[in-house]
Structure 1
Amino acid sequence: MCGITGIFDLREHRPINRALLEAMNQTQFHRGPDEGGVHLEPGVGLAHRRLSIIDLSSGQQPLFNEDETVVVTYNGEIYNFPELTKELQQAGHQFRTHCDTEVIVHAWEEWGEACVDRFRGMFAFGLWDRNRQTLFLARDRLGIKPLYYSLLPNDQFIFASELKALMAHPDLPRELDAQAIEDYFAYGYVPEPRSIFRSVQKLPPAHLLNLRHGQRDLPAPRAYWDVPFSALPRIDEAEAAEALVDCLREAVKIRQIAEVPLGAFLSGGVDSSAVVAMMAGLSPDPVRTCSIAFADPAYDESRYAQQVAQRYQTDHYQEQVDSDDFALLDRLGDLYDEPFADSSALPTYRVCELARRKVVVALSGDGGDENLAGYRRYRHHQAEERLRRPLPLGLRRPLFGALGHWYPKADWAPRIFRAKTTFQALARDSVEGYFQGVSILRDELRSKLFSPNFRRELQGYNAVEVLRQHAASAPTDHPLSLVQYLDMKTYLPGDILTKVDRASMAHALEVRVPILDHRLVEWISGLPPDLKLRGGEGKYLFKKAMEPYLPNDILYRRKKGFAVPVSEWFRGPLRDSLREKVLGQRMVDVGLFDMDYLNQLVKQHTTGQRDHSAPLWSLIMFDAFLSR
């Protein structure tokens, strides 16, 4: 895994400032500590930080074609590069290395933009073609690898793996994006294509961008792939389970190519355990596995990881994280650059830290919940949809909207009496209902959170529009498939994959995600929805398929997630820090918040009246961003 950086003069061939490009590149040293490289020519500068995984002795970047008219800086792994190399050699291309990077320049020469259709893997790259005077940027289909970019006021285009590299450029405008702030306090992250700055965008997953010298305007990125959700030919359950195992095994196998120590994360959950089971069946040597234990038994699942490790005789490494391991709070602002409110970033950082002591590459089980319908919220959404379906929205909205408004909020009461949330959900359409279910702060609470001036600046914008835009182009209208699709476009790249990328790269660790192999994703998307969620059981087919490989108490226990005791921290050891950060002068000065409401949130939480841990964590992480 690596870090990439580039400067491209859109207007003319002005010289690129080498010292500035190197400074931008150096901010990403952690992504590639093995070596760095720079290429300069009039109007173009490409830079690279390398973490050596394949072809350790060569493969330095930026890397060229035979006559050095095409050059690339690239972050990722293309797993089918051996097959592509043979095909390109047969077409007359000459290779000087044995690494996957060189495939990109020759594939561009042979197929142009369509080269990305041939790549199987995770990638983000910038490629300069001198003959065509073209800069070509592309990002992998699921958004495993990041890519930020900006067009500066002086018509220079800059791009990088992380926002911090762009922030090293003195001409980058740093005005906050009001809509991105609204999105952040709804989702807990800033969804693509926005960033926290108005001047910076993220290249969305499965998109490419083609720039030419002399262009006056920045073109819009173009999509080259989407999750199809096209129904497969009729298949019975047993055949589907067998095919699923075969597809997963093959996706794992191609991700075990490396010339450095390789292992896997093992949380004890279904997804990581399934990946380890497949790895064990493919390797003659014990699989290296890594997991962390929590001192608090309410959050600890290490015994399940141990159970899988013992079954497959893995070389297992485990460390315990103290329940009060909040020393990383100040580190997160530097790590993520933008506000990022997923508190599981803390244990993710620790497990990456542990893994890097033993391996350079780790396979993970990320993507299983989105792909195979594992989240509990999918079950809740299905239940709400069954209630919505009999009545049209025009009738539901006024009727249940009024009931939701007047019915008292009763979080303390038995579930049967907590009807307010249900009434509110029934008054909404499907997308809006799902949005409220995944929001950290629902609409009425975000309205209270923001100052009157900031609400006016939003001009009526609501973060639900992110989901609405994706829903409008979704290839499915099935209630379950639709919300899976929405998560694959938002939560998966914006939260899950961002969290893992930054935490792993902070330790120069490459993480590979076989369950997000795009061929596997395409195949699973075509399965009947009731093979994914049946009778309240998420990942139904996956669990059935894994029964010969994993014990039932791994497959069918209640999912815990990678949680930390934030609520208890804010009432105990972090109580003073919470007040200092959420109610401090920095938050006053930024002018975005209603400070009286922030004070109410802190008071209600610290006195035990309400659990506001999620919104308070998002506020602390926003303060961490401001502090930079």
Structure 2
Amino acid sequence: MCGIAGLSGDFIPGLMDRMNTAQRHRGPDGQGVFENPASEIALGHVRLAVLDLSESSSQPMHSSDGRYVLVFNGEIYNFRELRQTLESQGVAFRSRGDTEVLLRGLQAEGTAFIKKLDGMFAFALWDQEQQELLIARDRLGVKPLYYAEPVPGAFLFASEIKAMCAHPKLRREPDFFAIQQHLAYGHSSGTRTALRGIQRVPPGGIIRWRPNQPLKTEQYWTPPFCDQPQNFKDAKEQLRELISAAVHRQLVSDVPVGAFLSGGLDSSLIARLASEQGVLNCYTTTYSSADNQLDQSASDLPYARFMAKELGARLEEIAMTSDVASIWQRLIYHLDEPLADPAAIACYLISRLAKEDNTTVMLSGQGADELLAGYPRYWAIQSTQQIDSLPMAMRSAITRMASVIPGALPGRIGGTLRRVRRVLSEAQRTPIERFLGYCSATPSASIRSILSPDFLAAIGDETALDECARGIRNDPSAQNINRFLRRDLGTYLPNHNLLYTDKMGMATGIETRVPFIDNALVDFIVGLPPELKIQKGTTKFLLKEAARTLVPDRVIDRRKAGFGAPYRNWLRNDLSEMWNDLTDSESVNRRGWFDPQALAEIRHQSQTGKTDLYMLQWAVLTMELWARQFIDQNPADQN
């Protein structure tokens, strides 16, 4: 794992050193710079050594003839097979790692070689002869990669936004469309970021840049969803074999490997298969039942302990406490984007604990829910499909009825009422709107109610859901529930879950791997018919059946949970002072994004138990803390 950076055009001496410094946490084991002022090109790299720890794999890496220069972040799991093929063609190697395999493969086959890569990666290749810069990202966006054109005739890229901010002419201005999306989903959609002008390379995307020519973008891969008929027994066995092979491939490492273990199906299955290859250390988070009184999240700890005992694995636990304000601001700095999800805190604490335990590589179950319909929203959209046949007057009445259900009462009954309200409140909407409503933590009307007149003027009638809705409507390649899986696989997974997993791991010097996003596994799953993914309200149906005999039934059949945090309780009690400090009228008016009276109202509605708007409050706090670090000051200067 590493961090990469580069500038082509409008050469600035010493910029790569400053960009490397801004993201040096991604590569504590070394750094390198390539500069050619005559060609106006500079590349930077910081290294976390995982494969081939020798200097022969240092970067930037040059081809033997000097034509190509490569900087690369990630892991290529099938690099040994690719190397054997290249060697059979007469290619000689100087190192043992995957970086040189990528360089030689691109040199021999061009961009066609990218389609052969099984791994997580972001890289940049400079072609001195053609004066062309090529950057690319892995198929599902496990590794981050951002770009911008700070001035005409210049192209800038980096693994992290804060590194790009080292460029003296890059403007740090808010993208209000993206910010509205962050308030709804906790992340932005498409290639947007919260800073206007900075975009992310799309998953499966390639960008070519040459001086005085338009930017060229292309997709080398998109999920080929289809509904191929499958025999259930055969599909179950094939899925089990593919997951096992993926875990085995991703255990390749010259440093210790551990695993996230929430006690849920995904992480438990990964840990089970990994433990078959040797001793495995597992890590989880805990919090008190008192903290969970309002949130009513399913308790992970008993299942994590049970699963660790089943595996004979050592389980390290770290407690999540209300003293979160002390680290949340720093975590937002590492996230680069105002990603409002307390799960990032759990991810960071586990990663930090693993690093202190001398573990450098961690396995995660991310990706299974987006591939195999694991989220409750898939159950909700399937369960409410009969609503579409009701008269609109009746559907509107259901929505109005839902609005009077208390949304933020403590205890088990309060948690049940909150979920019922959530499902019924979307009754009058179309299936696409209803699904996106379930994806959103906060209704669009509540979000727009807190926006200032200037903010509303900037976005017009556009809501946070509109960009995703257009994408679903305009994509005829996926139908039924696959159209929703495509949205989550292409937007939610890379822009949210994989983003915080990567950034929180790299903040502590941890490489996180995601076996469910293995190429062969993904190719198989996207071809499965929907009824194997969700059946009679059972989410991840095929995965649950494939996991039996590997994972105990009590883990498979438990209620859906994950690495979360009791943020509602924190906001209601321990973070009240933080809320008051960041949302007082003077601070809010100075920022100019929100209405201070509306913020006071959503606070009052949540505190009295009328409406659950705590995630909107968390998003507002996150947005203000982010703005103070990325708008008010330059994050590249904070190291």
Per the TM superposition, whether the score is higher than 0.5 is: yes
Gaps of 5+ in 2: 408-412, 630-639
**Cα distance in structure 1, aligned partners of 2:608 and 2:422:** 24
Q: Deviations over 1:375-397 (max 9, x none)?
A: 11100011222332x47xxxx6x
CA contact (8 A) 2:153 2:212 kept: no
The alignment status of 1:60 with 2:58, answered yes or no, reads yes
**Match status 1:51 vs 2:48:** yes
Look up the SS of the partner of 1:54 in the other structure.
coil
- Counterpart CA distance in 1 for 2:399 and 2:313 is 55
CA distance in 2, matches of 1:611, 1:601: 9
Q: Secondary structure in 2 aligned to 1:73?
A: strand
Contact in 2 for aligned 1:401/1:424 (Cα 8 Å) = no
After superposition, the Cα gap between the structure-2 partners of 1:293 and 1:484, relative to the gap in structure 1 and judged at 3 Å, is same
What amino acid does structure 1 have at the position aligned with 2:568?
A: S
Match of 1:267 among 249, 262, 266: 262
CA distance in 1, matches of 2:221, 2:23: 29
Structure 1 pair 555/218, CA: closer, same or farther in 2 (3 Å)? same
Task: Write the mapping of 1:273-312 to structure 2, written as runs, cut at 5 A.
Answer: 273-281=268-276, 283=277, 285-296=278-289, 298=292, 300-312=299-311
Q: Deviations over 1:306-350 (max 9, x none)?
A: 222221212332333335544322212212122110111111111
Q: Which amino acid aligns with 2:403?
A: K
CA distance in 1, matches of 2:242, 2:421: 44
Residue 375 (structure 1) aligns with: 375
Count of residues in correspondence between the two structures: 612
Q: For residues 33 and 439 of structure 1, what CA distance do their matches in structure 2 show?
A: 37
- Spell out the pairing of 1:12-161 with structure 2 (5 A cutoff): 16-41=11-36, 42-57=39-54, 58-161=56-159
Rounded Cα–Cα distance in structure 1 between residues aligned with 2:418 and 2:110 = 61
Greater mean deviation of Cα atoms: 456-465 or 322-331? 322-331
Structure 1 residue 229 corresponds to structure 2 residue 225: yes
CA distance 1:70–1:318, change in 2 (3 Å) = same
Q: Would the aligned equivalents of 1:586 and 1:623 in 2 still touch at CA under 8 Å?
A: no
Q: 1:33 to 1:183 in 2, by over 3 A?
A: same
Per-residue deviation, 1:408: 7.0
1:564 equivalent in structure 2? 565
Q: Which runs of 5+ in 1 are unaligned?
A: none
Distance apart, 1:357 and its partner CA: 2.2
> 1:550-570 deviations in whole A, cap 9, x for unaligned?
111111011222221211122
Partner of 1:574: 575
Query: Could you say what secondary structure the match of 1:537 adopts?
Result: coil
Which of 371-380 and 180-189 deviates more?
Answer: 180-189
Q: Which residue is 2:635 aligned to?
A: none
How far off its partner does 1:23 sit?
Answer: 0.5
Structure 1 CA distance, aligned partners of 2:398 and 2:457? 26
Mapped pair 1:247 → 2:242: yes
Query: Residues of 2 paired with 1:608 and 1:170: CA distance?
Result: 48
Gap change, CA 1:259 and 1:401, over 3 Å in 2 = same
- Who is 1:412 aligned against? 406
TM-score, length-normalised on structure 2? 0.91
Distance in 1 (CA, whole Å) between partners of 2:384 and 2:437 is 12
The alpha-carbon distance between structure 1 residues 378 and 121, as it changes in their structure 2 partners (threshold 3 A), is same
**Contact persistence 1:400–1:424 (CA under 8 A):** no
CA deviation digits over 1:101-137, x for unaligned, max 9?
Answer: 1122222222212221011100011110111211001
Structure 2: which amino acid aligns with 1:291?
A: T
Q: How far, CA to CA, are the matches of 1:460 and 1:323 in structure 2?
A: 38
CA distance in 2, matches of 1:32, 1:179: 33
Q: CA distance change for structure 1 residues 226 and 386 in 2, over 3 Å: closer, same or farther?
A: farther
Question: RMSD in angstroms over aligned alpha carbons?
Answer: 2.2
Question: How many angstroms apart in 2 are the aligned matches of 1:510 and 1:468?
Answer: 34
Write out per-residue CA displacement over residues 534-589 of structure 1, whole angstroms, 9 at most, x where no aligned residue: 12111111111111111111110112222212111222121121111123533221
Map of 1:321 onto structure 2 = 320
Aligned twin of 1:189: 187
1:123·1:144 contact (CA, 8 Å) conserved in 2? yes
Counterpart Cα distance in 2 of 1:226 and 1:172? 31
Give 2:387's aligned residue: 387
Q: Distance in 2 between matches of 1:202 and 1:475?
A: 24
Report the TM-score when normalising by structure 1: 0.93
Report the Cα distance in structure 2 between the residues aligned to 1:408 and 1:487, rounded to whole angstroms.
Answer: 26
Q: Please tell me whether the aligned partners of residues 400 and 423 of structure 1 are also in contact (alpha carbons under 8 angstroms).
A: no
Q: 1:18 to 1:440 in 2, by over 3 A?
A: same
- Quote the residue 2:634 is aligned against: none
Deviation of 1:261 (Å): 0.9
Are 1:367 and 1:492, in contact at CA under 8 Å, matched by a contact in 2?
Answer: yes
Q: Does 1:482 align with 2:476?
A: no
SS of 2:73 mapped into structure 1: strand
Aligned to 1:180: 178
Alignment check: 8 A CA contact 2:146 2:159 kept: yes
SS in 1 for 2:512: strand
Contact 1:382-1:479 within 8 A present in 2 as well: no
CA displacement, residues 277-325 of structure 1 (integer Å, 9 cap, x when unaligned): 11122x1x31222222223374542221122222121233233333554
How far the C-alpha of 1:407 sits from its partner, in A, is: 5.1
On the 8 A contact 1:571/1:606 being kept in 2, the answer is yes
Code of the residue aligned with 2:382 in structure 1: it is Q
2:322–2:574 CA contact under 8 A, matched in 1:
no
Q: Counterpart of 1:490 in 2: which secondary structure?
A: helix
1:459 aligned onto 2:453: no
* Offset at residue 429 of structure 1 (A): 2.2
Report the counterpart of residue 360 of structure 1 in structure 2: 360
Q: Secondary structure at the match of 1:173?
A: coil
AA in 2 matched with 1:228: P
